[in-house]
Structure 1
Amino acid sequence: MPVSPPTARHVGAGGLLALGALPIAAFAAWGIARLGEVAGHASSPPWAWLVGLALLWWVPLCWFERPIRVPPGARARVGALRVTVQVPVYNEDPRALRACLRSVLTQSRRVDRVRVVDDGSADAVTGRPVSYDAVRREFEAEAATLGIETTWDRTPNRGKRFAQMHALAEDDGDVFLTLDSDSVLDRHAVREGLAPFADPRVQSVAGQVLVLNRGANLLTRLTELTYLPFTCGLRSAQSVLRRVTLNSGALAFYRADVVRRCAGGYENERFGGRPMQMNDDSMLTFHALLAGDTVHQPSAMVFTLVPERFGHYARQQVRWMRGTAVRQLWWLRYMPLTGVVFWATVAEYLHLLLALAVPVVVVVADPARLGPLCLAVAQVGLGMNYLMALRLFTVRRCDESAASRLRAFALAPLAALWRLLVLRPMYVYALLTCRRVNRWGTRGGVEVSLTGAV
């Protein structure tokens, strides 16, 4: 397995970033004030300020996130944790799978066990089983040399959740690491991801997701930028409050007891009378939330492949959005009324409602205000996107130059338009059609290949 995984380093929000954030934040605040003047009574625009609050509450908070370190007195305890990595596979590019598994074996903090579960991969045309024999032989030989226990099972195609939970109920690990087969770990991902477990209250840890094939085309560049408001914005702010609601399936760590307790129910969740296989990551995070604290570790990094064609991208986004819409109903039903998760969910719905209703109200009441209103909204959106794009500079990748980061930063306005014109309508559609839950096995074949990204 000769492929070397990429590496990255978290460098934090230094003084230069803070200096950059101040004028951008002032620009966005000016836009909010302008929004209030245009859309309501200049002296008291309550609904306009509610929009701003729902949209921006997490922006300043996310900058307070720092990597969690192991206290000296807890190093032995964290070092003794037994780690099992579960890698579900379905119609994966063999090169991507090889890079994924090699990144697990070359961790600076060695894992104890790796379970690969092939969820019935099959050729889309012939229906014949897909073979990963060459990858398996290389993987098992290298793991044996390193003294890492491995299993490789092929199961009937039942969905990602069943593949994730295969044999885990009887596994004796202390921490379960879930890893997508199209994702590649940074060399120190496991070491960094285990650090928060020094606190016994922490039940799950989300890794930071980086786009592996970001240079493939404009769509993957935009994907990198549109990930930032969630992965390094909302999730970072939630982590400061220790209430992360959605781990990434690309990389997440769980107390083993959390996963064992939800075995059976997790695989067989239903919504609207139908099996619910999508949004597996939010379901595991939900169980962790019920058990204790959930955090994000920005220094535990994973590189993941993202869609390179719009059709694949749209299917993935709608699937994720539908799953999140379902999970939001769970948060409203089961999270405490006095808790952050409940009210953050209410704020999300309120923001969506106001964002849709305000332009209509303005047009009906005073059509002349629509143009200035759109300009104010654009100003707020531009400021928001540039604030989040600054987070690009908190990570140093071995495969990216400073000039490349600056070019990505310059695309922030295009990402703002993409979010407004493409992702927002998708989200509304997903909310209206969230009963159309579907299985994980949506790929007829390999959709994204690893072509020299690592």
Structure 2
Amino acid sequence: MGSEQEKQGKKKKEQEEQDVLFHLKPDRRLLSYAPDSTGTRTNRDRRGKDSAGTSEGYIKLQQDDKNGQRYLVDYKVTAVFQYEGKKYTETLKGEDISTTGILLTQPAGSEALPLLEAENIKLTFEITPGSMPEGYEMTVKRIPAQCVREAERPDGTKLYGMQFKSTLAEFSNTHRKNYMLAVASFFLAVIVFVIVLMRAESVIYFQFNRWLYLYSIIAATFLLTRYLFGSFYRPTKIDPKYTPGVSIIIPCFNEEEWIQHTILGCINQDYPIDKLEVIVVDDCSNDHSVEKIKEIIEKLKENDGDRKMYRIEDRLHYYVQPVNKGKRDAMYLGAHKAKHELLVFVDSDSFLDPYAVRNIVQPFKDKKMGGVSGRTDVANTYTNTLTKMQAVRYYIAFRIMKAAEGFFDAVTCLSGPLSCYRKDLVLKYADDWINQKFLGQKATFGDDRSMTNFILRHNRTTYQDTAVCMTIVPKSYKMFLRQQMRWKRSWLRESIIAACYMWKKEPFMSLSFYMGLLVPIAAPIIVLYNLIYIPIMHRVFPLAFLVGMLMMALLMSMAQLFLRRSTTWIFGVWFCLYYEAVLLWQMPVAWFTFWKSTWGTRMTPADLAELEKKKKKEREKEEKKKKKVNEP
């Protein structure tokens, strides 16, 4: 009995730990977006669409492909329709769905439904969270549809291809999203008004506590201006004729679960095949990553066939480091092996949108542009509360904060999941980057911020919101906290370095940067002062401070609701509260542990060495206890 309960508990734990991701319906072609060398399929005539060689044409092409993408689902669908004057209500199963239609199935042996001849078909079903991209989760009630085809499988299962008379996005805008937009707009206006009013009060009472009110004014100014300039930002439009050579580099370490998905996303790009290559560098993984890399490459070569339609052998390469040297060395090796003028770095647990490369190269038409960051969305949003919080945080961090920096062509972190650099600049700074030390300690992480600093010092960096990738985020608080500690250490180190030259940039951007440096560093002191010192010493409840915190949290959530109209918006508030209660206190720790080289989220040599030290200390303690016990 106990054994059976243990098995059930273990199974339940495994299910809870499993990432929740939507599942794309497999295309009959392994590389459904890549044009082939024979000219049979191009990036202009796919599925009968014509880009017409214009930016507008490519926008339509991407939107049509997005609308046509099918997701595997398991929905209960109620179909109400009329046939020969009678009204019918039938329950079927939804097997796959796109924004334009759904495939319904009926069990073998059931009487076929006259859906092809039926009138006034209305479908009702629920789009469960995680079964489609974020923002589509909703209950769809009585959406008008028509049956466009019928079929039957060998096992007798009947299939009905249903086309919605309006896309799910249009249906949602009419029935739900316009309401959400109105609510978000109203609350955004109220929140901004309250924040400005509170900061006006800070000016009035400035003379009574200069440092406290100065901080509150700076914090509010920094946050509101980031949101303001983030709203002004616009991505660079696509020029279909601009296709510089691109080498995608994937540094990999212990990523057996996701590496094949990552490689497929990188090679399956809507981009000329003679101008795109993919290089995978495994940093001596101690799991099955190398086997997975070899397996997917062989599968792609088989798919290539004798005609070499996609030239996989020439465009997809992998290298294995003989010993683990760290992520930077893996990226460095890839940069030296690359043959093209632009380098795109992609994390081994990130998955590119098929148009990511075409979009991310566009800002490089500006010869002074040194690097570009794409947008990173969370792939496993609906796994648990933690991943939902991170989904909101990622979206605001990119679409607002990074977009605001992109408005001034001065993005301070070209993020690891998807970033692009000029190869000549990467090689120019490579030696200093690889051997970087800070206060005598070798820098082993923060590679994205570090390279950005080298580039931004003398060149421009920007953000391209239309270049999208999805990444896997930590689903356990233990891993998340370790990741955040690593990020704070690298942020602190690189922000101090950037502070030495940011004053030379555009004045407003420089001022915003220095405010953004001050606010998180001083935040722990301000929180302690308001929540501990004031109530104890002056016996005053810190209502104003708590209201201010709530307004900042609601600003993040309402921005998410306004821009994405997703049900995850409420988790923006939870993230901000979690930040104040937990993450904020990592900053003082980061001040005194910046020298640590452990990643915490994976067993790098530094992590293994740290683990061995802990085990050694534990063994020494045990030996001391034994000696004490044995002493007379």
TM-score, normalization: structure 1?
Answer: 0.82
Give a deviation string over 1:293-341, Cα, whole Å, max 9, x none: 1111111000111111111111111111111111001101233445456
The separation in 2 between residues aligned to 1:326 and 1:160, in whole angstroms, is 18
Indicate which of 296, 299, 302 corresponds to 1:135: 296
Indicate which of 236, 251, 254 corresponds to 1:91: 254
Q: CA deviation at 1:378?
A: 2.8
Aligned position for 1:256? 423
Residue 218 of structure 2 aligns with an amino acid whose one-letter code is: L
Q: CA deviation at 1:361?
A: 5.2
The separation in 1 between residues aligned to 2:511 and 2:189, in whole angstroms, is 24
Give a deviation string over 1:237-275, Cα, whole Å, max 9, x none: 000111001011000111111112112222111123222
Give a deviation string over 1:139-175, Cα, whole Å, max 9, x none: 4445654124122110021000110111523533111
Indicate which of 411, 423, 427 corresponds to 2:583: 423
Change (3 A) 1:142 1:9: farther
Q: What percentage of residue pairs aligned between the two structures are identical?
A: 22
Aligned position for 1:59? 227
- Aligned residues: CA RMSD: 3.3
Q: CA deviation at 1:276?
A: 0.9
Aligned position for 1:289? 456
Cα contact 2:482–2:600 (8 A) shared by 1: no
TM-score, normalization: structure 2?
Answer: 0.61
* Count of aligned positions: 422
Cα contact 1:31–1:376 (8 A) shared by 2: no
Correspondence list, 1:340-351, <5 A: 342-351=510-519
Q: CA deviation at 1:391?
A: 6.0
Aligned position for 1:177? 344
Structure 2 gaps, min length 5: 1-24, 33-65, 70-132, 136-168, 170-176, 606-632
The separation in 1 between residues aligned to 2:225 and 2:412, in whole angstroms, is 16
Correspondence list, 1:237-276, <5 A: 237-276=404-443
Cα contact 1:140–1:150 (8 A) shared by 2: no
Q: CA deviation at 1:198?
A: 1.9
Q: CA deviation at 1:137?
A: 1.7
Aligned position for 2:543? 372
The separation in 2 between residues aligned to 1:378 and 1:167, in whole angstroms, is 44
The separation in 2 between residues aligned to 1:342 and 1:248, in whole angstroms, is 20
The separation in 1 between residues aligned to 2:474 and 2:600, in whole angstroms, is 16
Indicate which of 238, 254, 263 corresponds to 1:101: 263
Give a deviation string over 1:380-410, Cα, whole Å, max 9, x none: 22332224323651xxxxxxxxxxx532013
The separation in 2 between residues aligned to 1:158 and 1:3, in whole angstroms, is 37
Cα contact 1:108–1:191 (8 A) shared by 2: yes
The separation in 2 between residues aligned to 1:145 and 1:388, in whole angstroms, is 45
The separation in 1 between residues aligned to 2:295 and 2:190, in whole angstroms, is 56
Aligned position for 2:574? 414
Residue 262 of structure 1 aligns with an amino acid whose one-letter code is: Y
Between Structure 1 and Structure 2, the one with more strand by share is: 2
Give a deviation string over 1:164-187, Cα, whole Å, max 9, x none: 111523533111010111111111
Indicate which of 282, 303, 307 corresponds to 1:118: 282
Structure 1 gaps, min length 5: 394-404, 446-454
Q: Which structure's relative contact order is higher, taking Cα pairs within 8 Å and 6+ residues apart? A: 1
SS at match of 1:146: coil
Indicate which of 485, 492, 496 corresponds to 1:325: 492
SS at match of 1:411: helix
SS at match of 1:299: strand
* Greater CA drift, 242-251 or 274-283: 274-283
Change (3 A) 1:337 1:167: closer
